[in-house]
Structures are given as structure tokens and as C-alpha cells.
Structure 1
């Protein structure tokens, strides 16, 4: 039996989906460019999997996000959810 997703996993899932769609990428296109499986992207976007750091780095590179910007967007996402 799997554990429920953490608030951070849910924010990460929402952020990945929002940025991916804003960039006009399908899950498959993002996965292909980041050299991960399409189902992995889907699992991340549903908060069903915790990302490996190396995979997250590749996904962020494809999405054109720096670690700093990614962290800021996660913080903004957390702030927005509290309002």
C-alpha cells in the first residue's frame, strides 16, 4: 500500500503540469527530451512518485527552469494554497 502524497509532492506535481502545459509540451514530449519514460512524468504529475534528483534536473532543464526559479515557484505555490 502506498503512502499519500506529501504537500510538497502535490505542489511539485501541480507545478510540473502547469509549466509543461505553458511550454506547449505533452507528457511524452517532455519525457522524450528529458530522457525519462512518459509514465514517469505522469506519475510525478499525479504526485504518485517522488522524483530522483537527476531526473528532476533533466526535467527542469527541458522546461527552461533554473533550480532557483523552481524553488521560488514552489514557494509561491505554497503561499497561494494558504490563501
Structure 2
């Protein structure tokens, strides 16, 4: 859910993020819903697109870490 909140706070659709990250929208949707983990390359691309540290995808406490990043 953190990824969706991050995306919507920026006023972007799933298609917007997927297009800017150069991935398929369906793949982005699976990542956002938690059904898939992105590769490092894709994580970097999504992170750059939405403006956060891509390593958050591989953190055990991604919700907590991202909230600290966005509220700091």
C-alpha cells in the first residue's frame, strides 16, 4: 500500500509511473499490489520516477522506512 500512497500523493496514475519507468503497466500493478518484487533495475527506475530511494523495495520494514523518508 505504501507504493500506491506514494504514487497518488504525486498525482500519478499507474500508467504514468509505468511509462516513465519504462515498464509494462501490468508489471507495475503487480509490484504496487505486492504480488511481485521488482528487479534492481526496475526498482531503480520506479524510485527515480517517484523520487525515493530504490532500496526501500528490499527493506524488511518498507512502510516504516518510506514514511520516515517522506515525512523528514
Q: How high is the TM-score relative to the length of structure 1?
A: 0.65
**Aligned partner (choices 4, 8, 24) of residue 21 of structure 1:** 8
8 A Cα contact 2:17 2:49, kept in partner: yes
**Distance in 2 (alpha carbons) for counterparts of 1:51 and 1:58:** 10
**Distance in 2 (alpha carbons) for counterparts of 1:38 and 1:60:** 16
Runs of 4+ in 1 over 4 A off after TM superposition: none
Uncovered stretches (5+) of structure 2, i.e. residues with no partner: 66-72
Matched, 1:38 2:25: yes
Uncovered stretches (5+) of structure 1, i.e. residues with no partner: 1-13, 78-83
The number of residues matched between the two structures is 62
Instruction: Look at both structures and tell me which one has the larger radius of gyration over its CA atoms.
Output: 1
**Distance in 2 (alpha carbons) for counterparts of 1:27 and 1:75:** 19
The structure whose RCO (Cα within 8 Å, separation 6+) is larger is: 1
CA RMSD in angstroms, aligned pairs only: 2.0
